[in-house]
A and B are shown apart, each in its own frame.
Chain A
Amino acid sequence: MSFVSSLVSESQQGGSMLRRIGRTHEIVIAACILVLSIAVGLLNPAYFSLGNLFDLLRNATTYGILAMGVLVVLISGGVDVSFPAIAAASSYIAVKILIASGFQGSAWIVYALAMPFGFAFGFLNATLIACFRLPALIVTLGTAGMIYGFVLFFVGNLVLYNLPAGLVKYGTASLATVEDATAGTSGLHPSVLLLVAAAAAVGILLKYTMAGRGVFALGGNREAAERSGFNIRRIEYGIYCLAGVLAAIAGVTQAALYRNANPAALMGAELEVIAAVVLGGASITGGRGTVTGTLLGLALITILKSSLVLIGIPSEWQKVAIGSALLIGTTVPAIRTRGQRRIPVSDEI
């Protein structure tokens, strides 16, 4: 075990440059958020209201929970594009079962029922990736198509509006509300706590557990991680099952917030969530990434998406802004680290 700890500490020393870059990256993103917020706030004071903060949090919740799963997958050197499909499928199946059984109780039961489905889909991904050693991008591309197709064809393709009463109640619940004469009433939805819990759990997992060290080791250098005694296959199963369960939680949250269960919900969200995680400093080739950075990246994208309208930029330019932010956010660190690169340019995808 001392060998493992020395290996980890060595990789930390070796990665100190990367670590410093990561820290600076977080500061830069935070500064961007600050500057953007001040600019928007000066032009439109409504931005700094509590009601707007609640709305931003509400918009960020689903993607935030998804982003936590994606973060772990990216750190391990993998990639997952099937999580929106898993989110939609597990929440839709759970809601459909509960409607069929006439269930009207608590929303937690919906979560409890959806999570095993998320786990099962994640297990399918993990089996194909860990046991058959197939590329993660291709596997999750395949399972995403299969899962969407399976649910839409075999389970149902109608959007369900008659959600269980408990889920409807949960969807309209709020921890705190603010009254605003102009913008109306805004509430802080309790699902924000789920995001906080997911972020805390992933943060603790990555930082303070051996499994988390294993995820970093796997992403940094698979061969070295295997030789130093990490059970690679078990770690990969853990990663993709965790991503599946988090996706299921996000799916039910999405259904509650939108008050319907849509079998094609979140379709196309995969690239946006990955973009948020990458903007937060996670490396697409593995071995680097933090929960703080991810939350900052998510915050930046959420603000860009919802606040440009407040300063008079037409909503149709919003995607241009996000795309530019993403390009700048990935290009600047690349230029900064260019001198220190050992790997030749365009060696990685």
Chain B
Amino acid sequence: MRDILKASSAVSRLMPDGHIRFLAATVVLIFISMASAMPAQFPTASNLQSMAFQMAELGILSVAMTLALLIGGIDLSVTAMANLSAITAALVMTRLAGAGASAGQVTVAVALALLVSLAVGVACGMVNGLLIGRVGVPAILVTLGTLTLYSGLGYAITKGRAVHGVPDPVLFLGIGTVWGIPVPLIIFSVVVGIASTLLHRTSFGFKAYMLGSNALAARFSGIDNPGITMRTHMISGFLSAIAGLVSLARTNSANAEYGSSYLLMAILVAVLGGVSVNGGHGRLAGVVLALVSLQMLSTGFNMLLSRYSGSNFFRDFAWGFLLLFVMVFARNRIGPLRTGRFFWQRSRTQ
């Protein structure tokens, strides 16, 4: 059995499924068309770098969302957890290492702040996991409640104001580059690498996929469903905290309302990447490709339409259109998303 599983996963790694091929083609197509439309602006190093900076936060949140979707749930509280963690980190740093702090103080404060904010993320995820896994409330309801609760807590702590002024070494996480590669992109790559290892190389990942594809079967094969749910949501909280820290470092401020539009975008990226909303199907490779194609699309359209007012709104239109287009017309390529028959096909029940 193990050999068969190993062999089949090796094959599936070598031969990407249809949807991933389709997404890769989309990425290439978008890049070629944008590059040929704006040869002087689009395929430049500085543009690629700025796209990489913009992608990372949404990308990390999308990975967190992907994990929650894979086990057959959803996590609507990712942005709220990110903001709450960022606010905690910012408060710890500004209180412990205000103006005139020595280098030693700053180091201690930063280390403590990072630790506390990651712990906040994990704790928030644990509350989600507890209510979903042990109590049995549907994930969409729990995370809808905790979305309000966590962002409310952030709002209450800060009284609705933004927290500014994090120490310079932290800013490096958000705006620094290493050999021209943006640090946020490096953090995102590490996150994807770890998440991918977790999903495809550990028993936890295997169990998570099992739980997502059939919770009943998973339970009867001895999988601890509540435990897996709990761990998945704790990881999702942890990743959200990382996203929050990156955004804190990039913008040098944290507030309770930041990036709330990222929530729906993270779902969009995951679904476009081939993650099934019913759970059990989806790969991180698809999510990354979807993220890259959406980022190129929005940057490209922003450049193309920059002389019209409200050009950034065209992005929402294009993203929504792309999502629906992929769902409708590339549907036969998206195995996991197949939920039924086309209306002109005969119904099985007749």
Contact = CB atoms under 8 A, between A and B. Distances in A.
Contacts of A128: 324, 327-328
Interface residues of B, number: 73
A347 B342 CA distance: 26
A137 to B, nearest CB: 6
B133 A143 contact: no
Contacts of A137: 267, 277
Given A135-B277, A347-B215, A349-B72, A149 B343 contact: no
A175 interface: no
A331 to B, nearest CB: 6
Given A141-B267, A271-B76, A323-B152, A346 B139 contact: yes
Interface stretch (B102-110, B140-148, B199-207): B140-148
B264 interface: yes
B320 A320 contact: no
Nearest to A301: B148
B315 interface: yes
Nearest to A138: B271
A330 B142 CA distance: 8
A316 B160 CA distance: 7
A153 B235 CA distance: 38
Nearest to A285: B138
A314 B267 CA distance: 33
Interface string A249-279: 0000000000000000000100110110010
Contact of B150 (A130, A150, A323): A323
Contacts of A341: 136
B142 A327 contact: yes
A146 B144 contact: no
Contact of A346 (B72, B149, B268, B309): B72
Contacts of A132: 327-328, 331, 342-343
DSSP class of B's interface residues: helix, strand, loop or mixed?
helix
Interface string A326-349: 110011001100100101111111
Contact of B149 (A79, A138, A150, A324): A324
Interface string B292-313: 0000000000000100111101
A141 B343 contact: no
Contacts of B73: 346, 349
Interface string B271-289: 1000001110000000000
Given A138-B323, A149-B320, A152-B316, A330 B149 contact: no
A138 B327 contact: yes
A59 interface: no
Contact of A284 (B135, B140, B349): B140
Interface residues of A, number: 63
Contacts of B148: 271-272, 275, 319, 322-323, 326
Contacts of A141: 264, 267-268, 271, 320, 323
Nearest to B327: A134
Nearest to A79: B140
A344 B264 CA distance: 28
A137 B342 CA distance: 18
A121 to B, nearest CB: 12
Contacts of B268: 141-142, 145
B313 A331 contact: no
B340 A133 contact: yes
DSSP class of A's interface residues: helix, strand, loop or mixed?
helix
Nearest to A133: B340
Contacts of A348: 72, 138
A348 B137 CA distance: 9
A233 interface: yes
Nearest to A267: B261
A278 B144 contact: yes
Contact of A145 (B134, B137, B323, B331): B323
Contacts of A226: 347, 349
A209 B330 CA distance: 38
Nearest to A128: B324
Nearest to A233: B343
A346 B225 contact: yes
A302 interface: no
Nearest to A346: B229
Contacts of B150: 323
Given A223-B349, A327-B146, A133 B327 contact: no
A343 B318 CA distance: 39
Contact of A347 (B74, B152, B216, B320): B216
B128 to A, nearest CB: 10
B155 interface: yes
A330 B328 contact: no
Contacts of B215: 344-347
B264 A135 contact: no
B260 interface: yes
Given A135-B277, A135-B339, A145-B317, A319 B151 contact: yes
Given A141-B271, A149-B319, 4 more contacts: A145-B268, A223-B349, A319-B152, A326-B144
12 contacts: A133-B339, A135-B339, A138-B327, A149-B318, A149-B320, A226-B347, A285-B138, A323-B146, A324-B145, A330-B141, A344-B225, A345-B215
Q: Closest 4 A-B residue pairs measured CB to CB?
A: A149-B317, A319-B152, A323-B149, A145-B320
